[in-house]
Amino acid sequence: MNTSDCLELLHSRQSHNKLVAPAPTKEQLSNMFKAALRAPDHALLKPWRFRVFEGKSLDRLGELFVKASLEENSELSEAKLEKIKNKPHRAPMVIIASAVLKEHPKVPHVEQILSTGASVQNLLMAAHFQGIGAMWRTGGLAFNHCLMDLLGLDQDEVIVGFVYLGKEEGDKRKLKPTPHEEHIFYITE
């Protein structure tokens, strides 16, 4: 693959919210995690954690989503609870990415969260390079402390996002041109 091909892949990545089976294979997952673990990591703290859900564990994750949501709001309607329960089934695989925050004199927590975000981006790019559809989501459940407890996260661990993976179904949204010039400021003096 030449530089032009690599750049085209980078420029063409987009989220896709209609994902169906099959889930990524073990080999594809291995490639994604190898890429994820190459993210910038000041002081080599390796703050990243990835919990992989597929098959029946998606049902269990849906149950945890409901339980955590009810802890925040016990008056949710049955329709809303059913929608929450089915969130993990938007794709055949869901990876919960989290950051284990460590006290370090030179690496503040925000930098460790950014490192984890960079690892998720690497994972998304590795998925895209292999023809796997992906969507990175957050939402209220990413900040729900009850869910963090139910998932067995460490006391100093936070969710960075839910990565949905599978085969893209339906038409892709047409990529809109992104004029990068309005986001770049060159400081020359």
Cβ–Cβ < 8 Å for 32, 95: no
pLDDT of residue 177: 74
Please report, in tens digits, the pLDDT of each residue of the chain (189 residues total): 788 777 787 777 778 888 999 999 999 999 999 999 999 999 999 999 999 999 999 999 999 999 999 999 999 999 999 999 999 999 999 999 999 999 999 999 999 999 999 999 999 999 999 999 999 999 999 999 999 999 999 999 999 999 999 999 877 777 777 777 778 888 988
Q: What's this model's pTM, rounded to 2 decimal places?
A: 0.92
Distance of alpha carbon 27 from alpha carbon 111, whole angstroms: 30
Domains, the chain, in order of start with CATH, read 23-169 (3.40.109.10)
User: Which of 5, 9, 7, 19 has its CA nearest to residue 136?
Assistant: 19
Distance of alpha carbon 20 from alpha carbon 153, whole angstroms: 28
